[in-house]
A and B are shown apart, each in its own frame.
Chain A
Amino acid sequence: MNIPKIPLADWIEAIEDWMKLNFDPLFQLIKTIIGGMVNGLEYVLLGIPAIALIFIFAALATYLGKWKIGLFTLIGLFIIHNLGLWDKTMQTLALVLTATIISVVVGVPVGILMARSERLQRIVTPVLDFMQTMPAFVYLLPAVTFFSLGVVPGVISSIIFAIPPTIRLTNLGIRQVPSELIEAADAFGSTSRQKLIKLQLPLALPTIMAGINQTIMLSLSMVVISSMIGAQGVGNDVYRAVTQNKTGIGFEAGLAIVILAIILDRVVQNMMKKKSI
């Protein structure tokens, strides 16, 4: 018997076309917002003189983490500056920060809702699995269709790839709050909002921060892929080095990403430690 192939590819493309046709105003709005955020952040990061910004970041890292992290930040950023990758690194930082901020703004509330509803958890969990395991390149194509080339589709695909840990760990963190504490909060007549703000979120915060940390790392891992569709930044240098077989340039740009990753990771981890009792 000859079973015909399911025309999945045709269907997907039909859906893509239909969405492009009907939701274009929405996509344009999203594009304006995300593009505006990235540009705004870039404007600030590049507007401040590099040397001043390096010291500001080092001071911030010391304040949020500890002096060792501050020192590492100082040295690491000077190396990046010395390699001539400062502007591109700041463009990458703007992209990563935008993706992270949107992931947190969307992901934490979704995680909270998920923690409150078994049904929502059953629906969302496989969607998150899908988002994380589908090869990231696959998102690039519809993202470009909807948002055209540039930084915006890069941010969008970064969010899709990087948001699951924030959602998952927010859900987990809230569910892990011991039931006897919930019971105590109920026994004293808390509303569910009071319970959330006074008990669940503070106790879940270290876990949520771990999720945000992973989100940052995952969106950093997307910068090279994003550069393939026209996002500016150090990712672009890595991509070019790969296509032109230039190991040295690739290593320099890669090092800049590593330094950025370590600074962000250590700062966030230390914030976690300070928050958890």
Chain B
Amino acid sequence: MAILEARKVTKIFGSDPKKAIPLLDKGWSKAKILAETGATVGVNQASFTIEEGQIFVIMGLSGSGKSTLVRLLNRLIEPTHGELLFKGKDILKMNAEELRQFRRKNVGMVFQKFALFPHRTVIQNIEYGLEVQGIPSKQRREMAMQSLELVGLKGYEHSYPNQLSGGMQQRVGLARGLANEPDVLLMDEAFSALDPLIRKDMQDELLELQSKMKKTIVFITHDLNEALRIGDQIALMKDGSIVQIGSPEEILMQPANKYVERFVEDVDLSKVLTASHVMIKPETITLERGPRVALELMRSRGISNLYVVDKSRRLLGIITAEDASAAIKSGQTVEEVMIKDFPTVSPETIVNEFFDTISNTKVPISVMDEMGKLKGIVVRGAVLAALSGNNEIEVGELR
């Protein structure tokens, strides 16, 4: 079920914002509207649907309107126009008290510069959202402690924010955002101010937390690699408009226009593509067929090895042409001569992680799912083809 749905949500900055709305409908550009009316388009008719439990990444360069858009979602910035449905209820129609309750109970937020209160201890910071709700102090302390443990900062509850490192401070920020157990967590460039290594740790941790908690997260970033790494859905923004919404794979493989294409061309594909992207279809044979059939098959296909599988396509081993002919001479079965020690990866493994394996192995890497079923094999040529820029066609064909 969609937890959050935006319908043509628009923010226009300026003295007479309503005037610019019809111009947007006419399809005027941001620059033209600014020149004609003096109004600045912050967010232009953003429409999207966020499913429960999803990490929805909004990404774009600075000035693209992504930080404005996330603030429209809890009305830290008042939208000019549009509808914003939270579980079917229009956030934009809430009065001040309803909005306050919505912010207190349904939505948490984590900020780029942490925005921790310097005069409060870690635990008091985490408690803040519970405190303003009027939750009794004993109960809120317990809830805050749970949240603190979740981010692995137990023992630091009485420290002040300025005594912690950047990464730890943002964990506090995260714990504060989670303390009131919100339905939706807004993360505005939450990891952008952190060192690259710490950032990666935090991304991992967020994904791990997410696998436990299944929160709906709206994550803002300007870093495409970050977006691809953690996003279930990615909305790419430019000049206040959403240019494309799709899964990381769709954004990479089918860029909606030149802008997205240029955006994704610098991506280090080895960190994004997985085994399932680069694998090719293997030639297989079942165990019951003898070595003669295997050899004949290899000859007719012009290949030097075959993948031995059982009836449910579970991989049992690999047989080479040499082994097959030796088996024929000595009267052995396929099972006796096939190679049983071979490298395997899961379909989700990132290419980057099996570079070593693929450069050291004689036989291709087998891609198996968790049931042990053979999904495909990875050969060096296919990996290189996928990593070279023109991957769209090549990978498509290989698959």
Binding site for B on A (CB under 8 A): 178, 180-181, 183-191, 194, 198-199, 202-203, 277
Report the Cα distance A180→B129, complex, angstroms: 15
Residues of B within 8 A of A202 (CB): 119
- For the complex, what is the distance from the CA of A225 to the CA of B116, rounded to whole Å? 48
CB-based contact B113/A187 at 8 Å: no
B109 near A: Cβ within 8 Å?
Answer: yes
Provide the B167-182 mask, 1 if CB < 8 A to any CB of A, else 0: 0000000001000100
Question: Closest 9 CB pairs between A and B?
Answer: A189-B104, A189-B103, A188-B129, A184-B115, A187-B109, A180-B115, A189-B100, A202-B119, A190-B132
With a CB–CB cut-off of 8 A, which chain B residues contact A186?
76, 103
Q: Which residues of A contact B160 (CB under 8 A)?
A: 277
> B118 contacts the other chain (Cβ, under 8 Å)?
yes
Q: Mark B110-140, 1 if CB is under 8 A from A, else 0.
A: 0101011111000000001101110000000
Residues of chain B whose beta carbon lies under 8 Å from any beta carbon of chain A: 74, 76, 100-105, 107-109, 111, 113, 115-119, 128-129, 131-133, 160, 162, 176, 180, 186
**Bound complex: CA of A189 vs CA of B102, how far in Å?**
8
Check if A277 sits within 8 Å of B119, measured CB to CB: yes
Contact B132 A181 (CB under 8 A): no
Select which of B74, B117, B133 is within 8 A of A187 by beta carbon. Answer: B74
**Chain B nearest CB, measured from A142 CB (Å):** 43
9 contacts between A and B (CB under 8 A): A184-B115, A184-B117, A186-B103, A189-B100, A189-B102, A189-B132, A198-B128, A202-B119, A277-B162
CB neighbours (8 Å) of B105 from chain A are 189
Q: How far does the alpha carbon of A186 sit from the alpha carbon of B71 in the complex, in Å?
A: 11
Which of B101, B104, B115, B133 has its CB near the most chain A CB atoms (within 10 A)? B115
What is the interface of chain A mostly: helix, strand, loop, or mixed? helix
- Chain A residue numbers with a CB within 8 Å of B104 are 188-189
Contact A183:B100 (CB < 8 A) given known A188-B129, A189-B133, A203-B119:
no
Please give the distance in Å from A7's CB to the nearest CB on chain B.
44
List B contacts of A181 (CB < 8 A): 115, 117
Contact: A277 with B128, CB < 8 Å? no
The closest CB in chain A to the CB of B99 belongs to A189
| B100: A residues at CB distance < 8 A | 189, 191
Which residue of A has the minimal Cβ distance to B160? Answer: A277
Taking a contact as CB atoms under 8 Å apart, the answer to whether A184 and B103 are in contact is no
Cross-chain contact B111 with A188 (CB below 8 angstroms): no
Known contacts A180-B115, A181-B117, A202-B119: does B103 contact A187 (CB below 8 Å)? yes
Known: A181-B115, A183-B76. A191 touches B132 (CB 8 A): yes
B118-A277 in contact (CB<8A): yes
In the complex the two chains form, what is the Cα distance from A188 to B101 in whole Å? 9
Complexed CA–CA distance, A194 and B104 (Å): 13
List, in ascending order, chain B residues with CB within 8 A of A189's CB: 100-105, 129, 132-133
Bound: A186/B107 CA distance, A: 12
A191 / chain B contacts, CB cutoff of 8 Å:
100, 132
A188 touches B76 (CB 8 A): no
Q: Closest residue of chain B to A190, judged by CB?
A: B132
A199 and B109 CA atoms in complex are apart in Å by 17
CA distance A188 to B103 in the complex (A): 5
B contact residues around A199 at 8 Å (CB):
117
**With A and B bound together, what is the CA distance between A178 and B116 in angstroms?**
11
Return the contact of B118 from the options A187, A190, A203 (Cβ within 8 A): A203
In the complex formed, the residue of B with least CB distance to A195 is B132
Residues on A with beta carbons closer than 8 Å to the beta carbon of B101: 189
Give the CA-CA distance A138 to B102 in the complex, in Å: 56
Identify the interface centre among A185, A187, A191, A194: most chain B CB within 10 Å of its CB.
A187
Question: Shortest CB–CB separation between residue A209 and chain B, in angstroms?
Answer: 14
B76 A187 Cβ-Cβ under 8 A: yes
B118 near A184 with CB under 8 A, answer: no
CA distance in complex: A183, B67 (Å)? 13
Contacts of B186 in A (CB 8 A): 187
Q: How far is the CA of A222 from the CA of B322 in the complex (A)?
A: 108
Question: Would B111 and A183 count as touching, CB distance under 8 A?
Answer: yes
CA distance A183 to B74 in the complex (A): 11
User: Chain B contacts of A178 at CB under 8 A?
Assistant: 115
Q: Distance in Å from the Cβ of B144 to the closest Cβ of chain A?
A: 13
Within the assembled complex, what's the spacing in Å between the Cα atoms of A188 and B102? 9
Q: Is the CB of B115 within 8 A of A194?
A: no
| Chain B residue at minimal CB-CB distance from A202 | B119
**A194 / chain B contacts, CB cutoff of 8 Å:** 132
CB pair A180–B119 under 8 Å, yes or no, is no
Are B131 and A183 in touch, CB under 8 angstroms?
A: no
Contacts of B74 in A (CB 8 A): 187
Complex Cα distance, B387 from A251, in Å, reads 88
Q: Determine which of B107, B115, B117, B128 lies in contact with A183 in the assembled complex, contact meaning CB atoms within 8 Å.
A: B115
Nearest CB on A from B91, distance (A) = 13
